[in-house]
Amino acid sequence: MLNQNNVILGQNRSAIRELFEYAKKRKTEIGEENVFDFSIGNPSVPPPVEVETALSDLINTASFEELHGYTSAHGCYSVRKVIADYLNGKFNTSLNAECLYMTCGAAASLTITLNALLNEGDEVIVFVPYFPEYKVYTEHARAKFVAVKCEEKTFLPDLNALKNTLSPATKAVIINSPNNPSGVVYGEEIIKNIAEILGDFYKKTGNAVYLISDEPYRELVYDGITVPFIMNYYSRSIVCYSYSKSLSLAGERIGYIAVNNAMEDFLEVYAAVCGAGRSLGFVCAPSLFQKLIERVCGITSDISVYERNRNLLYRALIEYGYEVVKPDGAFYMFVKSPEVDDKAFVERAKRYELLIVPGECFGYKGYVRVSYCVNTDVIERALPAFKSLAESYKLI
CA distance 349 to 234: 43
Choices 104-112, 115-123, 156-164, 274-282 (CB under 6 A): range interacting with ligand PLP: 104-112
By beta-carbon proximity to ligand PLP, the closer residue of 316 and 355 is 355
- Strands 170-175 and 210-214, by their bridges, are parallel
Choices 102-110, 151-159, 167-175, 195-203 (CB under 6 A): range interacting with ligand PLP: 102-110
How buried is 286 (Cβ within 10 angstroms: 0-12 exposed, 13-18 middle, 19+ buried)?
Answer: middle
> Least distance (Å) from ligand PLP to the CB of residue 267?
27
Q: Which residues contact 331 (CB under 8 A, 6 or more apart)?
A: 41, 43, 183, 217, 220, 245, 306, 309, 310, 371, 372, 373
CA distance 39 to 124: 27
**What is the layout of strands, in order, in the sheet containing 332-336?**
324-325, 332-336, 367-371, 357-358
Q: Are 327 and 217 in contact (CB under 8 A)?
A: no
- Strands (DSSP E) found in 33-192: 36-37, 100-103, 123-128, 144-149, 170-175
Q: Is 242 in the site for ligand PLP (CB under 6 A)?
A: yes
Exactly one of 111, 113, 176, 300 binds ligand PLP (CB under 6 A); that residue is 176
Q: Which residues contact 108 (CB under 8 A, 6 or more apart)?
A: 253, 255, 277, 280, 282, 285
CA distance 354 to 374: 13
Provide the 8-state DSSP code for 70.
-
**Binding mask of the shown chain, residues 39 to 68, with x at each position contacting ligand PLP by CB under 6 A:** --x---------------------------
Element (H, E) at 368: strand 367-371
Give the count of beta carbons closer than 10 Å to the beta carbon of residue 20. Answer: 17
Exactly one of 47, 75, 129, 255 binds ligand PLP (CB under 6 A); that residue is 255
The whole-angstrom distance between residue 197's C-alpha and the CA centroid of its chain comes to 24
By beta-carbon proximity to ligand PLP, the closer residue of 123 and 214 is 214
Choices 66-74, 101-109, 281-289, 343-351 (CB under 6 A): range interacting with ligand PLP: 101-109
> Least distance (Å) from ligand PLP to the CB of residue 61?
28
> Least distance (Å) from ligand PLP to the CB of residue 201?
25
Choices 100-108, 145-153, 282-290, 318-326 (CB under 6 A): range interacting with ligand PLP: 100-108
Residue 166's nearest CA partner among 187, 146, 192 is 146
Q: Is 111 in the site for ligand PLP (CB under 6 A)?
A: no
> Least distance (Å) from ligand PLP to the CB of residue 204?
31
Bridge partner list, 157: 150
Exactly one of 76, 106, 156, 209 binds ligand PLP (CB under 6 A); that residue is 106
Indicate the Cα dihedral angle 190, 178, 295, 282, nearest 10°.
100
Q: Is 180 in the site for ligand PLP (CB under 6 A)?
A: yes
Which residues in 120-149 contact ligand PLP (CB under 6 A)? 131
> Least distance (Å) from ligand PLP to the CB of residue 146?
18
3-class DSSP state for residue 175?
strand
Which residues in 288-347 contact ligand PLP (CB under 6 A)? none
Q: Is 105 in the site for ligand PLP (CB under 6 A)?
A: yes
Choices 161-169, 189-197, 242-250, 261-269 (CB under 6 A): range interacting with ligand PLP: 242-250
Q: Is 112 in the site for ligand PLP (CB under 6 A)?
A: no
Choices 24-32, 67-75, 103-111, 191-199 (CB under 6 A): range interacting with ligand PLP: 103-111
**Binding mask of the shown chain, residues 196 to 215, with x at each position contacting ligand PLP by CB under 6 A:** ------------------x-
Residues that bind ligand PLP (CB under 6 A): 41, 105-107, 131, 176, 180, 214, 216, 242, 244, 250, 255
